[in-house]
């Protein structure tokens, strides 16, 4: 499966991406995320950890989708865990394109958890 979405007991949504998401899969991915986004507000935004597993190239469709998703104020802090070079560049691109600084990259999940604790939103 190219993606899996799991809400953790710590109220951080874990997203595991393991392949290129074409337009059909992006639609299904969006449907899977919709309930979590719908339950979030700008005051209580959705926190996410994204794991890019074995992805070296990130499709233009996925880049556009993630950038547009990040414009939603219900999306809060997002941690990319062990990202490839492409995913690190993507994080910088999305932050710049959306005018937000809510995506950061980490080598370890525990570093991201500390970051979430420090930055509540």
Neighbours of 34 (CB within 10 A): 10
Where residue 108 falls among pLDDT bands split at 50, 70, 90? very high
Residue 85 has pLDDT above 80, yes or no: yes
What is the model's pTM? Answer: 0.88
Are the beta carbons of 43 and 24 closer than 8 angstroms?
no
Cα separation, 97 vs 2, in Å, equals: 26
List the CATH code of the domain at 3-118: 3.30.750.24
Residue 102: closest CA among 40, 43, 38, 48? 48
pLDDT digit string, tens, across residues 15-73:
998 766 666 778 888 999 999 999 999 999 999 999 988 766 777 877 888 889 999 99
Helices (H) and strands (E) in the chain, counts: 4, 5
When the pLDDT of each residue in the chain is averaged and rounded to a whole number, the result is 88
At 113 the pLDDT is: 95
Which pLDDT does position 78 carry in this prediction?
95
């Amino acid at each position: 499966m190219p993606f899996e979405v799991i809400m953790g007991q710590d109220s951080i949504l874990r997203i595991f991406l393991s392949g290129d998401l074409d337009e059909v899969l992006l639609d299904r991915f969006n449907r899977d995320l919709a309930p979590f986004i719908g339950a979030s507000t700008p005051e209580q935004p959705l926190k996410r950890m994204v794991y890019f597993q074995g992805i070296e190239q990130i499709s233009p469709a996925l880049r556009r989708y993630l950038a547009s998703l990040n414009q939603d104020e219900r999306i809060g802090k997002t941690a990319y865990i062990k990202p490839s070079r492409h995913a690190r560049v993507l994080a910088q691109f999305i932050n710049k394109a959306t005018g937000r600084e809510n995506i950061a990259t980490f080598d370890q999940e525990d570093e991201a958890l500390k970051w979430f604790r420090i930055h509540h939103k």
